[in-house]
Amino acid sequence: YNYQLLTMVAMDQYGNGQPVQYSLIETNSDWHMAKCMDHFKRANEHWRFVRIVIVDKDMREIDIIRKKFPEARVLLCHFHVIKWLHETIRKSKKYGVYEEDVLSQMKHTITNMTYARTPDAYTSHRDEFKSLALREDRTELWDYFVKNWDECCEMWVMAYRVGLPHFGNHTNNRVESLFGKLKRYLKGHLTMRASLKVLLAYQRRKEEEY
């Protein structure tokens, strides 16, 4: 069967992640995701109050969220931003191989860019990253960064989310934690009916704990 689970998690007044919708779908396509969000909107008359959605960097997913929740800001998970950029500079051969000390400095500037609290601070750390990326007349890494990260810096740099109602949450770790717990019970061989029973049983336990 191998159904895909699409879960929407909201943060409650105590800062805890609470699942507000489970969707078992045949495949993780744009159409299926859009339908899941349509269902959420039908079931929640106050859906327009959604102000922030935190996701990883799946542009197809982001486009759908923006269409379905036009009043919400889509932000990138800080954990994934740092992880992806670190892996890009270290593992991707198409951007060239850098010395270990240069990679170490790049990792440091990536973290500084992510958590920069003003646009000027971000620009300063970005220029530092640029000087490292352009060493030995290389341009590939810097060109990639400008196109894929600098142009959407308002989605991941702290400076552009300081005044937003994120309640100090800058990752989707709550969703990842939930998936980790559900994977103990949800298995690929389960039917739709059996999978729903697992989800409902888990949700009942959560509500009793709450």
Q: Is pLDDT of 17 > 90?
A: no
Rounded to the nearest 5 percent, the helix, strand and coil shares of the chain are 60, 10, 30
Q: Name the pairing type of β-strands 17-25 and 4-11.
A: antiparallel
Q: Is pLDDT of 1 > 80?
A: no
pLDDT in tens, 55-88: 988 888 999 999 999 999 999 999 999 999 999 9
| CB neighbour list of residue 52: distance below 8 Å, 6 or more residues apart | 72, 73, 75, 164, 165, 166
At 33 the pLDDT is 94
At 103 the pLDDT is 95
Sign of CA dihedral 105, 107, 108, 114: positive
Residue 11 in 3-state DSSP? strand
Q: Is pLDDT of 44 > 90?
A: yes
- Tokens matching residue 143: 């060109």
| CB neighbour list of residue 208: distance below 8 Å, 6 or more residues apart | none
Amino acid at 185: Y
Distance from C-alpha of 5 to C-alpha of 157, rounded to nearest angstrom: 29
At 206 the pLDDT is 81
Residue 48 in 3-state DSSP? helix
**Pair 172, 189: CB distance under 8 Å:** no
At 176 the pLDDT is 86
CA 148 to chain centre: 15
At 147 the pLDDT is 97
At 12 the pLDDT is 83
In the block, tokens 């005044």 appear at 163
| Average pLDDT rounded to a whole number, residues 157-174 | 92
| Average pLDDT rounded to a whole number, residues 202-210 | 84
Distance from C-alpha of 204 to C-alpha of 210, rounded to nearest angstrom: 10
Distance from C-alpha of 1 to C-alpha of 185, rounded to nearest angstrom: 15
For residue 24, what pLDDT band results from cuts at 50, 70 and 90? very high
For residue 13, what pLDDT band results from cuts at 50, 70 and 90? confident
Sign of CA dihedral 91, 95, 97, 101: negative
pLDDT in tens, 88-147: 998 878 888 899 999 999 999 999 999 999 999 999 999 999 999 999 899 999 999 999
Give phi and psi for 52, each to the nearest 5.
-140, 135
